[in-house]
Structure 1
Amino acid sequence: MATVMELKATARPKSGKGAARAERRAGRVPGVIYGNNQPPVTISVNDRELRQRILAGRFLTTIYDIDLEGKKHRVIPRDFHLDPVRDFPLHVDFMRLGEGATIRISVPLHVVNSETAPGVKRGGTVNVVAHALDLECSVDNIPQYIEADASGLEIGYSLHLTDIKLPAGVKSLTREDATLVTIVPPSGYAEEQRAAAAAAAGGTAAPAAGAAAAAPAAGAAPAAPAAGAAAPAAGAKAPAGGGDKKK
């Protein structure tokens, strides 16, 4: 069951830029509640409280019961806008949630146990390719995050969506072969691998090269006997193919 938070709001009968600026000057953030086949309702919420909720994290994946002058509206935040300079909220949108509704939502991906990965111990770096997953689930079963266990990754290896176990009743909208996490090799790793491969290949080829040098070339005359070597025994046969033919 998803955690439901409380949030107080005030009805905002006037709309438009002028009315929105007046709300901000009063320390409130203009917003709107829409969806579930009901007309939209313009509201405003306390600036400080909304800012704290946003900065706390998981704002867009948290269900809220908005108390609007005594009436409760079960909603989920769908969007908010921040001032590009001062970074305070300018506007917030909430979507109504009907009972048993199914929604599409983006949930954060948390990479765990990366410090124990063999690739990291050998100097590799964890590269998080996807920081969130697009999911479809019921409003009562929204996961706060999805875990990706990187403890078994070597350098150059990756975790894909097919390696992740999603909670029951949660469907992924991301393609199955999507790469989520990979271990990037350290600087100079490729050169070290090539040098090691070359050294291994050189060690294997050296004995073969020595054997080839020891063997006489095809068609070459036999080497002269070493000084002091014993003469062939009397009556010994000439080398095959090397003696004179009888006339």
Structure 2
Amino acid sequence: MENNLTSLEANIRETKTKSDIKKLRIDGFVPGVLYGDVETNFKLAVKKNALEKLLKIGNFMSTVIDIKVAGKEYKVLPRDIEFNKLTNQPIHVDFQKISAGTKVVVWIPVKFINESICPGLKMGGVLNIVRRKVELNCPADQIPAELVCDLGEKQLNESIHISSIKLPENVKPTILDRDFTIATVAAPTVVKEPEPGATAADEAATEGEAAAAEGTDENKDAKPEEDKAKAPADKKK
């Protein structure tokens, strides 16, 4: 697990009014702020296209960035980003300066491997993902790019807990009171289909029963008529 380290250049921002910020955005920059254990907070102007390239990498908010400002380099972590509600384009971004001793809380994605050889999945099971990301408390220089969950030996109806995932030293989940579930290999839901020809056989049997019942009813109705026909003959005798 290696840090996802990349770089970005930024300028010092001298904007004072809303119109200044509007012009900055028109010129292709995104306003931002760099704060942390620096002498003062820096107002930044970041090139919009460079920022958008970083956003496409994925997991932007837990990515350590080497940012260059006024000839100096800082390792920073994105702390907040604002988007235009209509265009979904970035309009403001905040960074926090970090060092080896800085502790941060970040959300890290879970990557599942060896699905093709998982015994439970090969038996028809389904991977039920409970958490696609896990919140971790870790040193800024030990932020993992992803958490690897190996499914190679997982059986049907088996659960994968956070304890089964190897974390870097001094990296711990923010949830410490239980061994929470990351995913399960769930049993398949089976729907029983009628056997071929069973429907036709059932219909034939039903028709036969109905016909038999109908014949019985006709015989019951005929008997009184036969008795009426015999009655006069008996009376003559």
Which residue does 1:207 correspond to in 2?
none
Which residue does 1:222 correspond to in 2?
none
Which residue does 2:91 correspond to in 1?
90
Whether 1:71 aligns to 2:72 is yes
Whether 1:181 aligns to 2:178 is no
- Listed as ranges, the matches of 1:90-239 within 5 Å are 90-175=91-176, 176-188=178-190
CA shift, 1:93, in A, is: 1.0
Which residue does 2:211 correspond to in 1?
none
Structure with greater proportional helix content: 2
Identity between Structure 1 and Structure 2 (%) = 31
Quick one: distance in 2 between partners of 1:15 and 1:161? 48
Quick one: distance in 2 between partners of 1:84 and 1:15? 24
Letter in 1 for 2:135: D
Quick one: distance in 2 between partners of 1:103 and 1:112? 27
Name the TM-score, length of structure 2 as normaliser. Answer: 0.72
CA shift, 1:14, in A, is: 1.8
Displaced runs of 4 or more, over 4 A: none
| Bigger RCO (CA 8 Å, 6+ sep) | 2
Aligned residues: 191
Which residue does 1:216 correspond to in 2?
none
CA shift, 1:151, in A, is: 2.2
SS of structure 1 residue aligned to 2:148: strand
Per mean C-alpha deviation after superposition, the further-off stretch among 79-88 and 52-61 is 79-88
Letter in 2 for 1:114: E
Name the TM-score, length of structure 1 as normaliser. Answer: 0.69
Cα RMSD, aligned residues only: 2.3
Q: In 2, are the aligned partners of 1:124 and 1:155 still within 8 Å (CA)?
A: yes
SS of structure 2 residue aligned to 1:186: coil
CA shift, 1:26, in A, is: 0.8
Letter in 1 for 2:168: P
SS of structure 1 residue aligned to 2:58: coil
